[in-house]
Amino acid sequence: MTAQEQRLERLRDRVEQHVQSIYHDNPLHADLGGLTDQLLALMRLDGTVAMPRQYANHWSERDAIVITYGDSLLAEGEKPLATLKRFLDQHTAGLVSGVHILPFYPWSSDDGFAVLDYSSVNEALGDWQHIGAIAAEYDLMADLVINHCSSRSLWFENFLKDQDPGRDYFVTASPDMDLSAVVRPRTSPLLWEVKTARGTQWVWCTFSHDQVDLDFRNPEVLKQFVSIIRHYLDNGVRLFRLDAIAFLWKIPDTSCLNLEETHEIVRLLRTLVEHARPDALLITETNIPNRENLSYFGNANEAHCVYNFSLPPLLLNTLVTGDCAYLKQWVMSMPPAQNGTTYFNFLASHDGIGLRPAEGLLSDEELGVLIATMQGFGGHVSFRALEDGQSRPYEINIALFDALQGTVRGKDELGMERFICAHAIMLALEGIPGIYLHSLLGTRNDYERVKHTGHSRAINRHQWRMPELETALADPHSSHGQVLARLKELLAVRRRQAAFHPNATQFTLHLGGAVFGFWRQSMDRRQSIFCISNISDLPQQLNLLDINLIEHHQWMDLISGEHYTSRDQQLTLAPYQSLWITNLPDHAAP
């Protein structure tokens, strides 16, 4: 047997173990060996097989991702995907490594997350050539909307007609079943009554009645998604965001959240994807309490990256209260990501600021104060259903720039500095940073879009007309231009520092409630960076002795360029000022 044949045999054995774990008691598919071969063939792994390196870090300090819808930027006579690439080339080239384009497929609702056809690009945005042009210049992240699809998709229409493909693709349940334990992110009824060729059926809808949950107990559904992944790889996708993955597998009388079969499917997809393209990454989107979220790392055999969902609400709470105690406590509790895994850090996205990841970290009273503060800044609140039929706040819907326009005492004149401080903290933390396009541009709350769509999340999904945006960016007095310029400066500095590698060492500093700090050290131990931020609206005093600078090193602040000549130098931090104090001159940092 040749070495290649041996590798292929080992891969086949590994995939079959995944398949056995998922479907060992499934009557729908007895030929599990045949299923293994079909999956390998669909991923085109039945010939030459790439060999991924275990625990390899396919990222560095040079990585940062822009998060955006495909049509957030509009120009007359130009497809939005072409406009997006033009903006990235002109304003972020050399500063960001990749772009997450939110669902760019034909869809029926939820701004793309009710997919009609996974194999096509929405014609209103562009085509696969536009996607390929972006993927040729940037690491492309795409959504694998894997838990559900549109009720107007061909699959669901075939389900109604009792035809293939789609006949047995969707989860059904009896309305008499006790489903009270099922965790819900929405308040709509879980089951939806539909008329089919087989009579009345009740289909499972975790999110909305236009988003019908797919039944992965049927291996045909798994095969469809493996084929979709291969198609995306062929079109340049490198990072796969597994949307709503925590809800994937359903077992009555359970929460139907984070079930073992769900984790095993993630492990299977990782095995297939990394053998097809060794530097491809899986990122799990699991907007759930922190401990559950971390479980998707597995033993470095599930997600390469997990969203740091607790960061947005905790950092927001820190900056509006002027007290970093909870943020510090959480950062200290986070385990260092082992090689081959890392965190995906973000402060804002197309969704709201999730509150579930803050459960157990902030009290109900503290969450209530945060919610009331955000409502005072024009934010809305979305709710989820509880077992007893009651509802609970699920997320705050607000543009981040508006969310940081004041404190719990109300609005003030320090919003810009508070906003930049938030990003200076996020960019320095262990992990890969993701910056929402509307944060990069300092976009404000879009009340007209909320009114037009009827959805609270639209408040942070503005569409910029390019002439208007270009005018704003060219105006030195515009907050939009100032935000972009200052964030670009931070990005430019960050990518030159080895101590900002996503897996570089991180330790939390104890500098009081109003000053948040942590220490990063490069993996070769040459560079140290002390990341210190005044998270209050008052000046704060800092003695360099408090951060234990090594005496024989020369130290400087990477942000201001100031050099420090004495270890016992006393500094006054302006409200929301951040320092990145390093022992290596910026130009000498690797």
pLDDT tens figures, 252-288: 899 999 999 999 999 999 999 999 999 999 999 998 8
Q: CA 88: distance to chain centroid?
A: 19
Question: Is the pLDDT score of 377 beyond 70?
Answer: yes
Tens of pLDDT along 474-529?
Answer: 998 999 999 999 999 999 999 999 999 999 999 999 999 999 999 999 999 999 99
The answer to whether position 570 is within a domain reads yes
The answer to whether position 386 is within a domain reads no
The proportion of the chain whose per-residue pLDDT surpasses 70, expressed as a percent, equals 98
Token pair listed for 14: 């590994």
pLDDT at 49: 79
Confidence of residue 535 (pLDDT cuts 50, 70, 90): very high
pLDDT at 153: 98
Question: Is the pLDDT score of 31 beyond 60?
Answer: yes
In sequence order, the 6+-apart residues with CB closer than 8 A to the CB of 158 are 164, 165, 166, 167, 169
The proportion of the chain whose per-residue pLDDT surpasses 90, expressed as a percent, equals 87
Tell me whether residue 148 is annotated as binding.
Answer: yes
The 10 Å CB-count burial string (b at 16+, else e) for 58-81 is: bbbbbbbbbbbbbbbbbbeeebbb
Tell me whether residue 243 is annotated as binding.
Answer: yes
The answer to whether position 584 is within a domain reads yes
Nearest 5 degrees, angle CA 65-CA 71-CA 72? Answer: 65
pLDDT at 186: 86
User: What does the pLDDT average to over 53-74?
Assistant: 97
pLDDT at 587: 56
CATH value at residue 565: 2.60.40.1180
Decide if 374 contacts 417 (C-beta within 8 A).
no
Question: Is the pLDDT score of 29 beyond 60?
Answer: no
Confidence of residue 590 (pLDDT cuts 50, 70, 90): very low
Residue matched to tokens 């198609």: 231
- Determine the 3-state secondary structure of 573 from DSSP: strand
pLDDT at 257: 96
Tens of pLDDT along 120-152?
Answer: 999 999 999 999 999 999 999 999 999 999 999
pLDDT at 3: 83
pLDDT at 77: 97
Question: Is the pLDDT score of 216 beyond 50?
Answer: yes
Confidence of residue 185 (pLDDT cuts 50, 70, 90): confident
Residues carrying an active site annotation: 243
Confidence of residue 64 (pLDDT cuts 50, 70, 90): very high
pLDDT at 391: 82
Q: Which of 23-37, 297-311, 362-376, 519-533 has the lowest mean pLDDT?
A: 23-37
Token pair listed for 38: 């079909």
Token pair listed for 318: 């820190």
Q: What mean pLDDT, rounded, does the chain reach?
A: 95
The answer to whether position 514 is within a domain reads yes
The answer to whether position 542 is within a domain reads yes
**Cα–Cα distance for residue pair 256/289, rounded to 1 Å:** 15
- More confident call, 7 vs 321: 321
The answer to whether position 42 is within a domain reads no
Q: Which of 235-244, 288-297, 486-495 has the lowest mean pLDDT?
A: 288-297
Nearest to 141 by CA among 247, 66, 90: 66
Nearest to 51 by CA among 341, 266, 281, 278: 278
Confidence of residue 43 (pLDDT cuts 50, 70, 90): very high
Tell me whether residue 25 is annotated as binding.
Answer: no
**Cα–Cα distance for residue pair 300/55, rounded to 1 Å:** 7
Q: Which of 102-111, 252-261, 407-416, 549-558 has the lowest mean pLDDT?
A: 549-558
Q: What's the number of domains the chain is made of?
A: 1
Tell me whether residue 494 is annotated as binding.
Answer: no
Confidence of residue 28 (pLDDT cuts 50, 70, 90): low
Token pair listed for 497: 């520092």
> Judging by DSSP bridges, how do beta strands 380-385 and 391-397 pair with one another?
antiparallel
Tell me whether residue 546 is annotated as binding.
Answer: no
For the residues of 329-363, what is the DSSP string, one character each?
Answer: HHHHHSPPPPTT-EEEEES--SS-EESGGGBTTB-
Question: Is the pLDDT score of 538 beyond 80?
Answer: yes
Question: Is the pLDDT score of 425 beyond 50?
Answer: yes
The answer to whether position 522 is within a domain reads yes
Tell me the sheet residues that pair with 344. Answer: 307, 432
Containing structural domain, residue 555: 505-588
The answer to whether position 171 is within a domain reads no
- Determine the 3-state secondary structure of 441 from DSSP: coil
Confidence of residue 46 (pLDDT cuts 50, 70, 90): confident
pLDDT at 553: 75
Decide if 423 contacts 414 (C-beta within 8 A).
no
The CA-to-CA distance between both ends of the chain, in Å, stands at 45
Residue matched to tokens 């959504």: 143
Tell me whether residue 110 is annotated as binding.
Answer: yes
**Cα–Cα distance for residue pair 62/432, rounded to 1 Å:** 9
Tell me whether residue 446 is annotated as binding.
Answer: no
User: What does the pLDDT average to over 93-105?
Assistant: 97
